[in-house]
Structure formats: C-alpha cells, structure tokens
Structure 1
Amino acid sequence: MASLNVGSLGEYLREQRRTAQLSLRQLADAAGVSNPYLSQIERGLRKPSAEVLQQVAKALRISAETLYVRAGILDEKERDELETRAVILADPSINERQKQVLLQIYESFRKENGFATSADADGTDQDASGDAGVRADGSDDGAPPTRKQSAGEPFQGEQS
C-alpha cells in the first residue's frame, strides 16, 4: 500500500543521487547506511525511517522535509511551514534576535490568515528564548531591552 509513495521516493532519490554525480556506494557511505539497503530504498522495496531520510538528505544536500513528503511522513503544507522556518534559522546574515522576530512575524501572519501556528500547538506565544519580544507590528511589548547597557548608562526611556 505505501509502496507507491516509497517507489516515488526511490525514483526521486535516484534522480537526486545522479544529479549530485554520486554512485550508490558513495551516497550510502556518506549517509551512513549500507549499500544494499540504499539500493532497496531506491527500488521501492524498503520504506526508510525519518532518521535515515534525514541522513540521506544531508548527504545529498537537499531538504529532509522534501524527502519526508515524498515518503508520506509529512504533508505538503507542513513541509512549506518547516522549510520557511529552516531558511530563516539558517540565514547567517541575521542575528538570533532578528531570526526570532522574523519567526514571530511569520507566526502572526499565519494566525491572521487562519492557519494554526506552532505557538498555538504548545500553548505559548513566545519565541524559543522565552522572551515575548517585539510584536509583529514592530512595537515593543515591554520586554527588557536587548542591547547591553554600559555601566552608568541610563536605560532607554530613563532620564539622566
């Protein structure tokens, strides 16, 4: 019954492996799986675990979420949300605080458009650091300043 998804996954993996100009053996070594096992996955005879798919995706330098969708582990909508988050979190040109603000804005827009957010799922409306931070509209919600204060320097908004 799942062989249709697995077959599609296998064909996709084979195509990606060939595009990356890797032999079956090279990919198996890079992913930390056996050559026969990888061959069975490509032929649609085995359904790999999410962990194996993640290892193969890393070795191919492709999105693990794409493989999860192909394998039927994740649906397309979930993949899109996860990929958006992954791109934001992986961007080296912005700092951690900026990443968290972007994720908050993203969550706000999804919520406004009627989509469930990961914050709704865990019952919180805070970022990973636990700060409430900056609202999606850019206003401060009373969170402490993120800039370090120099000795003797008044806090923002404090009169000297």
Structure 2
Amino acid sequence: MASLNVGNLGEYLREQRRTAQLSLRQLADAAGVSNPYLSQIERGLRKPSAEVLQQVAKALRISAETLYVRAGILDEKEREELETRAVILADPSINERQKQVLLQIYDSFRKENAAEAAEAAEAAASASKAAGAGADAGTPGPTPDAESPSR
C-alpha cells in the first residue's frame, strides 16, 4: 500500500502518543478506533476523517484543529482563527455578553484587514499591469537627433 501525503500526520500522532506515554492499543481504545486502523494512520497508509481525528485529539488531550491542519483538512489561518475564538469563549473571567462583543470586534478587524489586503493586492496588480503595458507598447525613447539638433 502506498503512503498517502497527509502532512506528516502519522509521525506527529506517533510522537504525541509516545509523549502521552500511551501504547497504540491504549490510544485506539481511548479514541474508539481499531488498533490496526490507528496503526495505518500512524504509518501514513490511511487518511482519517475529521471525526476520527477529533476522537484521537480528545484522547491525546490536544487540539483537534492542529490535527486537521496536519491532515490537510484545515489551513493554518483557519486553525488560528478557530483557536482564537475558542480561547475567547473559554475565558472564565468575562461574561457571555463580553465574549460576544469581543468576537464581533475580532470579526470586524479581520474583515477590515482582509479588505485592505485585497485593495493592496488589486493596486499592485494594476500597477504591474500598467508597467507591463508601457513596456509592451514599444514607445521609443528620444532619438539622438531629437536630443542634439545639428546646426
């Protein structure tokens, strides 16, 4: 069986399992998956579903989002956003209303920054296109005759 490209997920899982001092069988039991299936995941032979990754993450007491990123299910920016939201929602020192206000502010900053980034990218593309059009037009520069009239 050929090894799947799952972003070194298997190696990471094995490392986390060993750090937690769990055998393959113990982790499989805790996660509710079969021992052979977990072994295949660790060896990169199987790509687990998001549900299985969530069960394994819970058993290892690590972030499921981290496993999603390593499996290619979620990109890094999405993981960071989810973790930020989770931290805000889990903070016991602020009440629910304050949490919702913080999330609204966070969303507004993200939208503002995304709009600014899109505008900057559009401006850069326009400038690049304009510079390319000028070079492609073949506009000749001044000729030696025009610069120094012969009189």
Q: TM-score, normalised by structure 1?
A: 0.67
Offset at 1:92? 2.3
Distance 1:95 1:2, change over 3 A: farther
Aligned to 1:40: 40
Counterpart CA distance in 2 for 1:99 and 1:34 is: 39
Aligned to 1:3: 4
Offset at 1:93? 2.4
Aligned to 1:68: 68
Counterpart CA distance in 1 for 2:85 and 2:44 is: 30
Aligned to 1:155: none
Offset at 1:98? 1.5
Structure of larger gyration radius: 2
* Matching residue's letter, 2:51: E
- Root-mean-square deviation (CA), in Å? 1.6
User: What SS class does the counterpart of residue 48 from structure 2 fall into?
Assistant: coil
Question: What are the equivalent positions in structure 2 for 1:52-131 lying under 5 Å apart?
Answer: 52-114=52-114
Counterpart CA distance in 1 for 2:49 and 2:70 is: 12
| Identical-pair percentage | 90
Aligned to 2:31: 31
Q: For the Cα contact (< 8 Å) 2:10–2:44, is it kept in 1? A: yes
User: What SS class does the counterpart of residue 82 from structure 2 fall into?
Assistant: helix
Larger fraction in helix: 2
Write out per-residue CA displacement over residues 70-128 of structure 1, whole angstroms, 9 at most, x where no aligned residue: 0011111111111111111122222211111111111111112116xxxxxxxxxxxxx
Q: TM-score, normalised by structure 2?
A: 0.71
* Matching residue's letter, 1:90: A
Write out per-residue CA displacement over residues 20-49 of structure 1, whole angstroms, 9 at most, x where no aligned residue: 111111111111111111111001111100
* Matching residue's letter, 2:19: T
Greater RCO (CA < 8 Å, at least 6 residues apart): 2
Counterpart CA distance in 1 for 2:105 and 2:52 is: 33
Offset at 1:2? 7.9
* Matching residue's letter, 2:32: G
